[in-house]
Amino acid sequence: MSTTSEPTTQHPEIDPLTPVLSADWGEKRSWTRAVYETGGGYDALRRGLREMTPEQVLTEVKESGLRGRGGAGFPTGMKWGFIPQENPNPKYLVVNADESEPGTCKDTPLMMASPHLLVEGVILASYAINAHHAFIYVRGEILHVVRRLQQAVAEAYEAGYLGRDILGTGYDLEVVVHAGAGAYICGEETALLDSLEGRRGQPRLRPPFPAVAGLYASPTVINNVESIASVPGIVRHGAEWFASMGTEKSKGYVLYSLSGHVREPGQFEAPLGITLRELIDMAGGIREGHELKFWTPGGSSTPILTAEHLDVPLDYEAVGAAGSMLGTRALQVFDETTSVVRAVLRWTEFYKHESCGKCTPCREGTWWLVQTLKRLEAGQGEEGDIEKLVDLCDNILGRSFCALGDGATSPITSAIEHFRGEFEAGMHTPAWELFPYRASSVFAPEVTPA
Amino acid sequence: MTQQQSRQVQTPPISEDVRAELVEIGTRYPQARSGLLPMLHLVQSVQGRVTAEGIEACAEVLGLSTAEVSGVATFYTMYKRRPVGDYHVGVCTNTLCAVMGGDEIFERLKDHLDVGNDETTEPVDGLKDITLEHVECNAACDYAPVVMVNWEFMDHQTPESAVQLVDDLRQGNEVRSTRGPRICTFRQAERVLAGFPDGLADEGPSAGIASLNGLQLAQLNGWGPPPGRVGTDADRAQAVADQDRAAAQATAEDGQEGAAATQASPAGTKHDDAPGTGDEAQ
Ligand SMILES: Cc1cc2nc3c(=O)[nH]c(=O)nc-3n(C[C@H](O)[C@H](O)[C@H](O)COP(=O)(O)O)c2cc1C
Ligand code: SF4
Ligand code: FES
């Protein structure tokens, strides 16, 4: 089994896996308030609301070093601190539960198994920013998660944890579970706000930032599910406890999601800074008889990496230094049977489909990228197609209105950098001949006798 | 198309009761327009798609033009212009699932049901209708390849298990989600998304097999976070929770089997034996 002895890990005495968010997932009926409370659930709420002022909760979160788990890694306490308390408008908390970045699959099991952990975090976060209305914007395509959230919120109202005069402290909070309707762009925080106002989900110009003019043009904090669900642990056990896990600038525990060609894909909750080598080891290794070819550290919008990067500590700094981004820690693992061109084309088709159409570089650019990649997949690439891809990406990156456009270029430019030969082969040989697609599938051994 | 017309018959009007529910949705929010997405889900729960009548009703309730509502409805992929069958079957063909076998599953289902993408099976007496679509990453990549039925998870599919799944659905056999409840109809599902719970939250397991892999490994090795602080609050909460738990366990029935079965599965369980269709449900 692996160790955590790589140099950047600050606290080598910490265990390799540290289930906090996922601690209850194995319990029967873990989604109920009763079971949640057997593990100390809502203890942080009592401590926070009865023994701490909103400023103290905010300070605790600031000092913990918690950074946003939705992709960008912005310090959560600092974000809360941007809310102008002197602004006379109501303050709002919006939880981003849109989880749609390809490869990302952590918030969904969290909300399914431990919806009360999120609800408790919502109450503490709302209290800290003086909000009396919070929304959980959950993608509509995860119906059972919607059910579990609805029920958890209802149970919290019954218990007096939501509504008027919570726990007799005089603090009031209303929480609404709001189901989206299928649009990746609504995960982008300003598009999410437009969507939550009942409009097409298109990004807004910033500034003004949501902290100043967000939902209904009022001060608004938008946080990822996992960020908010990390708050009860911090309030319950303290900033120092939280910061004792992780690396120097990347503190705490996070969910790492392994998918693809590993023997046991799944969720692994560890201190920030674990490596893919360690995680693959924990997931039983790459599937029998195969080897790692490429992987995404944090979803399809983060540049792909290769076997060369197996020992990069998976924290914000080290992954950035390796030329990618930690993103959502959506570790999609592909072995040598996989065609890079096929994978990249499919992701690009996704971005083209999900482009909101507001700006030209993204709307037109993703269309051209798909056309070019399709030719290369079919072995009908034309002279100059690779340069064309790079050129198109150049024109999208940094010139798009929001980060969806930038993200669309990540898989392409990184794949060309690491696997240019495969794109060149696309001038004459179809990808499915170079990499018979069935060989990549999980049921390949069943249907193709060895 | 005659197919479309025969479905028109199953389109009940937007009644006064539905209108009242549309208004009720608006009252959940500081500004009623925020309810527009759930309102459109409610329209689909009544009519199986977003109709012109449904758009008018939402517009009327919110004091918007039909063009404004229509502009919103067309932006989101879950809202359908054409009638959806009793079951919406979505095969994930985003990269991870596609590579793991989703493409093959989608091809097999198109062939088996004789439909193209976003099309509905021809109506046959005694059989339920299925609308087939390929969908984007559904946040279940660790269960690839994944199929969604009315937005419930059907994890770890194969072409064979998927064919069995749609056959069961067409024949009206009970099907259970691998990480959720008995599958309800598309319209019932849409009602939940509109914010009207259906009481099925307690069905299904706490977590699926893959979600628990890390936790089980940690438990096996005795790994965990450093000890936290314990205080009087924690003690009190513990006492209260112990009581509640005893009560919960006395009443717990449905869903327990699911959770128990999931936990009993060793981390080494092979995923290629096509769980998740009728077999596992029985
Ligand atoms: C196209 C796009 C999609 C996004 N999708 C999500 C998402 O599904 N969930 C999420 O939490 N953040 C998503 N984000 C990031 C959010 O804009 C925002 O940074 C995040 O919700 C902030 O929360 P955090 O600080 O807690 O991470 C997305 C960003 C972009 C550009
Ligand atoms: S980059 Fe794409 S998604 Fe973002 S605003 Fe422009 S068109 Fe819309
Ligand atoms: S790629 Fe299919 S669920 Fe993520």
Q: A359 pLDDT exceeds 70?
A: yes
User: What are the domain boundaries of chain A?
Assistant: 33-243, 253-335, 340-438
| Positive or negative: CA dihedral A408, A414, A416, A421 | negative
Q: Where are the beta strands (DSSP E) in A225-316?
A: 253-260, 266-271, 292-296, 305-306
CATH of the domain at B196: 3.40.30.10
Q: Measuring CA to CA, which residue among A30, A105, A18 is closest to residue B207?
A: A30
For residue A445, what pLDDT band results from cuts at 50, 70 and 90?
A: low
For residue A13, what pLDDT band results from cuts at 50, 70 and 90?
A: confident
Q: Which atom of ligand 2 sits closest to the CA of residue A185?
A: 3
B28 interaction partners in chain A (CB closer than 8 Å): 176
Question: Given B17, B39, B73, which residue is the final one in a domain?
Answer: B73
Residues B66 and B88 in one domain: no
Q: Which amino acid type is present at position B270?
A: K
Q: A3 pLDDT exceeds 80?
A: no
Residues B171 and B46 in one domain: no
User: Residue B131 in contact with residue B184, Cβ under 8 Å?
Assistant: no
- Contact map slice: A 382-401 vs B, CB within 8 A: none
pLDDT at B10: 77
Question: Best residue in A105, A188, A296 to probe B by mutation, most B CBs within 10 Å?
Answer: A105
Q: Which ligand is nearest to the Cα of residue A361, counting in written order?
A: 2
Q: Which residues line ligand 3 (CB under 6 A)?
A: A 102; B 92, 94, 96-97, 137-138, 140-141, 144, 146
**Rounded distance from Cα A101 to ligand 3 centre (Å):** 9
Question: Given B16, B45, B73, which residue is the final one in a domain?
Answer: B73
Q: Give the pLDDT confidence of B24-62 residue by residue, as tens digits.
A: 999 999 999 999 999 999 999 999 999 999 999 999 999
pLDDT at A12: 60
Residues B187 and B94 in one domain: yes
Q: Which domain range does residue B50 map to? A: 7-73
Q: Give the pLDDT confidence of B133-186 residue by residue, as tens digits.
A: 999 999 999 999 999 999 999 999 999 999 999 999 999 999 999 999 999 999
Q: Give the pLDDT confidence of B187-196 residue by residue, as tens digits.
A: 999 999 999 9
B225 with A46: Cβ contact below 8 A = no
Greater model confidence, B9 or B196: B196
Q: Which atom of ligand 1 sits closest to the CA of residue A100?
A: 8
Greater model confidence, A149 or B277: A149
Q: List Cβ neighbours of A408 (8 Å cut-off, separation of 6 or more).
A: A301, A347, A348, A351, A352, A355, A362, A365, A366, A369, A396
Residues B65 and B89 in one domain: no
Q: Where are the beta strands (DSSP E) in A147-188?
A: 174-179
Q: Give the pLDDT confidence of A431-444 residue by residue, as tens digits.
A: 999 999 999 999 87
pLDDT at B246: 57
A217 touches B at CB < 8 Å: no
Question: Given B22, B42, B73, which residue is the final one in a domain?
Answer: B73
Q: What percentage of chain A reaches a pLDDT higher than 70?
A: 96
pLDDT at B229: 79
Question: Using CA atoms, how far apart are residues B276 and A131, in angstroms rounded to an integer?
Answer: 42
Mean pLDDT of chain A: 95
Q: Give the pLDDT confidence of A132-171 residue by residue, as tens digits.
A: 999 999 999 999 999 999 999 999 999 999 999 999 999 9
Tokens of A261: 């060609």
pLDDT at B4: 46
Greatest alpha-carbon span in chain B: 70
Instruction: Please choose from A362, A369, A409, A410 the residue to mutate so as to test ligand 2's pocket, defined by most ligand atoms within 8 A of CB.
Output: A362
pLDDT at B258: 40
Residues B35 and B127 in one domain: no
Structural element, H or E, at residue A56 = helix A54-64
- Contact map slice: A 90-129 vs B, CB within 8 A: 90, 99-105, 107-109, 112-113
Residues B101 and B41 in one domain: no
A41 interaction partners in chain B (CB closer than 8 Å): 237, 241
Question: What are the CA-CA distances from residue B167 to residues B92, B149, B250, B281 (Å)?
Answer: 19, 13, 37, 14
Question: Best residue in A175, A295, A340, A441 to probe B by mutation, most B CBs within 10 Å?
Answer: A441
Is the CB of residue A187 below 6 angstroms from any atom belonging to ligand 1? yes
Query: If you search the block for the tokens 């024949």, which residue do you land on?
Result: B171
Q: List Cβ neighbours of B26 (8 Å cut-off, separation of 6 or more).
A: B32, B33, B34, B35, B39, B61, B62
Q: Give the pLDDT confidence of A249-268 residue by residue, as tens digits.
A: 999 999 999 999 999 999 99
A238 touches B at CB < 8 Å: yes
Taking residues A309-322, what's their average pLDDT?
Answer: 98
Whether residue B251 lies inside any domain: the answer is no
Instruction: Please choose from A193, A350, A359 the residue to mutate so as to test ligand 2's pocket, defined by most ligand atoms within 8 A of CB.
Output: A359
CATH of the domain at B13: 1.10.10
Residues B195 and B133 in one domain: yes
Whether residue B154 lies inside any domain: the answer is yes
Question: Best residue in B80, B158, B215, B251 to probe A by mutation, most A CBs within 10 Å?
Answer: B215
Chains A, B: CB pairs < 8 Å? 363
Whether residue B242 lies inside any domain: the answer is no
Number of domain units in chain B: 2
B30 interaction partners in chain A (CB closer than 8 Å): 90, 133, 216
Q: Give the pLDDT confidence of A83-109 residue by residue, as tens digits.
A: 999 999 999 999 999 999 999 999 999
For residue A237, what pLDDT band results from cuts at 50, 70 and 90?
A: very high
Start-to-end CA span in chain A (Å):
31
Whether residue B265 lies inside any domain: the answer is yes
A448 touches B at CB < 8 Å: no
Given this chain, do its domains A33-243 and A340-438 carry the same CATH topology?
A: no
Annotate A157-182 with b (16+ C-beta within 10 A) or e (fewer): eebebbeeebbeeebebbbbbbbbbb
Residues B41 and B161 in one domain: no
Residues B134 and B181 in one domain: yes
Q: Å from A56 to nearest chain B CA?
A: 17
- Contact map slice: A 322-351 vs B, CB within 8 A: 330, 332, 334, 338, 342-343, 346-347, 350
Q: A4 pLDDT exceeds 60?
A: no
**Rounded distance from Cα A360 to ligand 2 centre (Å):** 8
- Contact map slice: A 135-174 vs B, CB within 8 A: 139-144, 146-148, 150-151, 154
Question: Using CA atoms, how far apart are residues A235 and A45, in angstroms rounded to an integer?
Answer: 8
Whether residue B282 lies inside any domain: the answer is yes
User: Residue B182 in contact with residue B198, Cβ under 8 Å?
Assistant: no
Q: Give the pLDDT confidence of B229-261 residue by residue, as tens digits.
A: 765 444 544 544 555 555 555 555 444 444 433
The phi, psi pair for A25, rounded to 5°, reads -60, -25
Whether residue B11 lies inside any domain: the answer is yes
Domain A33-243 has CATH 3.40.50.11540: yes
Q: Give the pLDDT confidence of A51-63 residue by residue, as tens digits.
A: 999 999 999 999 9
CATH of A253-335, one of 2.40.37.10, 3.10.20.600, 3.30.70.20, 3.40.50.970: 3.10.20.600
Question: Best residue in A33, A144, A333, A339 to probe B by mutation, most B CBs within 10 Å?
Answer: A144
Whether residue B161 lies inside any domain: the answer is yes
Residues B17 and B66 in one domain: yes
Question: What are the CA-CA distances from residue A108 to residues A114, A140, A283, B117, B161 (Å)?
Answer: 10, 12, 20, 26, 24
Whether residue B233 lies inside any domain: the answer is no
Q: A447 pLDDT exceeds 70?
A: no
Topology of domain A340-438, CATH = de novo design (two linked rop proteins) (1.20.1440)
**Rounded distance from Cα A344 to ligand 3 centre (Å):** 15
pLDDT at A260: 98
Query: If you search the block for the tokens 């699911």, which residue do you land on?
Result: B258
Question: Using CA atoms, how far apart are residues A35 and B150, in angstroms rounded to an integer?
Answer: 29
Q: Which of A47, A140, A270 sits opposite B151 (nearest CB)?
A: A140
B256 with A43: Cβ contact below 8 A = no
The phi, psi pair for A45, rounded to 5°, reads -60, -45
Q: Which ligand is nearest to the Cα of residue A110, counting in written order?
A: 1
A207 cis-preceded (ω within 30 degrees of 0): yes
Q: Å from B193 to nearest chain A CA?
A: 6
Residues B57 and B102 in one domain: no
Instruction: Provide the β-strand partners of residue A286.
Output: A262
User: Residue A174 in contact with residue A168, Cβ under 8 Å?
Assistant: no
Q: Measuring CA to CA, which residue among A357, A97, A398, A388 is closest to residue A227?
A: A97
CA trace torsion A421, B96, B79, B88 (10° rounding): 130
For residue B265, what pLDDT band results from cuts at 50, 70 and 90?
A: very low
A440 with B252: Cβ contact below 8 A = no
Q: Which residues line ligand 2 (CB under 6 A)?
A: A 185, 203, 355-359, 362-363, 400-402, 404-405
Tokens of A140: 């509509």
Residues B271 and B160 in one domain: yes
Task: Give the ipTM of the model, two decimals please.
Answer: 0.95
* pTM: predicted TM-score of the whole model, two decimal places: 0.92
Query: If you search the block for the tokens 């499915």, which residue do you land on?
Result: A432
Taking residues B200-228, what's their average pLDDT?
Answer: 97
